[in-house]
Amino acid sequence: MADDARDETGTEESGTEPRDHQDYEERASPFVERFAADLTEAGMQRMASRAFACLLASEDGALTSAELGRRLQASPAAISGAVRYLSQVGLVSRQRDPGSRRERYLLHHDVWYTSLLSRDNLLNRWQATLTTGADALGGDSPAGRRLRESAEFLQYMQQELEAMLKRWHERQQG
């Protein structure tokens, strides 16, 4: 097959891959399915969990929709929905290769750090809503106390998370 009939990873478009890629995928597959199950159990959508785990286990941390579909034996629609979700929650980004219509989905560098860092806005919003609710229900009511305690917990968690992420960043730099 001519070079122009290969995708950006050097894989032939017909779906056949060199034997070493097949071996790698066979070794990675049990991890992908196990970690995807763990993520699904924690609340992530099933196909998004599988796509994220597949990207995490890929050699470059980047795959096209076709590659994800082939590796996960999933439809283009299922892959599209999964990567849309992963993009919305900030776990992956899309990149179009120059001169190509294909999009590659890339994990963010230091994906866990980036993901937790982006949760700051979410925690702020929850904290504000809980505080507003506690004020509306009154600090003397059981519900008001419960909401206030929840807001205080989130504030504490946010402070600790910020400190932990700072330490992680410093550790990675040093």
For residues 50 and 45, give the distance between their C-alpha atoms in angstroms, rounded to a whole number: 9
Arithmetic mean of pLDDT, 40-53: 96
pLDDT level of residue 17 (50, 70, 90 thresholds) = low
93, containing H or E segment: strand 92-96
Burial class of residue 136, CB neighbours in 10 A (0-12, 13-18, 19+): exposed
For residues 117 and 113, give the distance between their C-alpha atoms in angstroms, rounded to a whole number: 6
Q: What is the pTM of this model?
A: 0.74
pLDDT per position as a tens digit, 68-85:
999 999 999 999 999 999
Q: Which value, to the nearest 10 degrees, does the dihedral of the CA atoms of residues 101, 73, 52, 19 take?
A: -80
pLDDT per position as a tens digit, 121-171:
788 899 999 999 999 999 899 999 999 999 999 999 989 988 998 998 899
Chain Cα centroid distance, residue 73? 20
Question: Which two tokens mark 171?
Answer: 């550790």
**The tokens 């946010």 sit on which residue?**
158
The answer on pLDDT for 111 being more than 70 is: yes
pLDDT level of residue 61 (50, 70, 90 thresholds) = very high
Question: Which two tokens mark 132?
Answer: 């507003």
Burial class of residue 166, CB neighbours in 10 A (0-12, 13-18, 19+): exposed
